[in-house]
């Protein structure tokens, strides 16, 4: 504010706020690096909170920070997209002859088949499953419900698990959740993450539950799935969040380019 010669409240204009935002974008930390977007957003949030308060208390006629938008984290391409062979290798890791292995296989299958989040899988109740029609009712972010399809093959696996495997995990009281831990309680998101990481130990890729979500979306898009339908399945509010997967297929263009472009043979 001293640099902008702002010494009175009436001098606090939108231009001054924009200049402040720009100065943050080029601020250098004590380590000699540019200030992170998160730190910029925090400082801008404090400044916007001040101007909003000043307007509310009638110290200012207009809020000069109202139109200032905090910097958004740039959309990055999903990493560690698995190939079909990687998926087959991963699914074959759990020992289906044991109760724990059968359950872990079902965890991997559902994550890849539906692209749901690990916490969404953790919260699935038996009453939310329709294995005859092949659907799961999911409660996602913001307590928003959606319905995702489940393939016939995975439905069959889920039926076998519910009838023959899941009862072995029940201890005193049945919580009604689909995925149970060794104590008979709902397996939390962290437990599901650990199952995926343990199964992926022998594969040279960073495989996580969210990575399986990315992989499912990418594979469906490559096979011609409409982006709008994919958006509904993933539970994205904005189409922009789903469209990021369209950029993942650029890697395929490189292969096609090398194979068919005459430049490669000049």
Which pLDDT tens digit goes with each residue over 81-107?
Answer: 888 899 999 999 999 999 999 999 999
CA-based max dimension of the chain = 75
Query: Which among 79, 141, 228, 247 is annotated as catalytic?
Result: 141
Q: Is 219 a catalytic residue?
A: no
Structure tokens at 57: 């208390």
Q: Which of 20, 112, 161, 245 is catalytic?
A: 245
Joined tokens for residue 105 = 């296989």
Q: Quick check: is 213 catalytic? A: yes
pLDDT digits (tens, 9 = 90+) for 106-148: 999 999 999 899 999 999 999 999 999 898 998 887 778 888 8
144 in active site: no
Torsions phi, psi of 7, nearest 5? -115, -15
Indicate the pLDDT class of residue 217, thresholds 50, 70 and 90: confident
Q: How big is the CA angle at 150 (ends 146 and 156), to the nearest 5 degrees?
A: 145
Which residue reads 């397996």 in tokens? 187
Taken in order of first residue, the domains within the chain and their CATH numbers are 1-73 (no CATH), 84-254 (1.10.443.10)
- Catalytic choice (103, 117, 166, 214): 117
Instruction: Find the catalytic residue in 103, 213, 214, 219.
Output: 213
pLDDT at 241 over 70: no
Q: What is the mean pLDDT of the chain?
A: 85
Q: Is 153 a catalytic residue?
A: no
Instruction: Confirm whether 103 is a catalytic residue.
Output: no
- Higher pLDDT residue, 158 or 214? 158
Write phi, then psi, for 45 (nearest 5 degrees). Answer: -65, -40
Q: Please confirm, yes or no, whether 229 is among the known catalytic residues.
A: no
pLDDT at residue 219, rounded to an integer: 86
């Amino acid at each position: 504010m001293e640099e902008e010669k702002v010494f009175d409240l009436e001098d606090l204009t939108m231009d001054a706020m924009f200049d402040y935002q720009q100065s943050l974008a080029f601020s250098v930390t004590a380590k000699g690096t540019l200030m992170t977007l998160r730190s910029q957003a925090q400082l801008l949030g404090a400044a916007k909170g001040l101007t909003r308060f000043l307007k509310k208390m009638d110290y200012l006629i207009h809020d000069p920070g109202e139109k200032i938008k905090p910097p958004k984290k740039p959309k990055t391409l999903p990493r560690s997209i698995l190939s079909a062979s990687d998926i087959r290798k991963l699914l074959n890791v759990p020992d289906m002859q044991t109760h724990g292995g059968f359950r872990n296989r079902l965890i991997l299958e559902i994550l890849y088949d539906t692209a749901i989040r690990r916490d969404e899988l953790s919260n699935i109740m038996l009453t939310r499953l329709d294995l005859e029609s092949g659907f799961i009712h999911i409660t996602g972010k913001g307590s928003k419900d959606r319905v995702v399809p489940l393939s016939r093959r995975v439905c069959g696996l889920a039926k076998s698990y519910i009838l023959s495997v899941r009862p072995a995990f029940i201890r005193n009281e049945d919580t009604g959740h689909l995925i149970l831990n060794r104590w008979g309680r709902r397996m939390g998101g962290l437990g599901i993450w650990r199952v995926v990481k343990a199964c992926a130990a022998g594969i040279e890729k960073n495989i996580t539950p969210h990575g399986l979500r990315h992989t499912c979306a990418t594979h469906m898009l490559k096979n011609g799935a409409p982006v709008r339908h994919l958006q509904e399945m993933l539970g994205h509010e904005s189409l922009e969040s789903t469209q990021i997967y369209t950029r993942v297929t650029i890697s395929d263009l490189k292969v096609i380019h090398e194979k068919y472009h005459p430049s490669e043979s000049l």
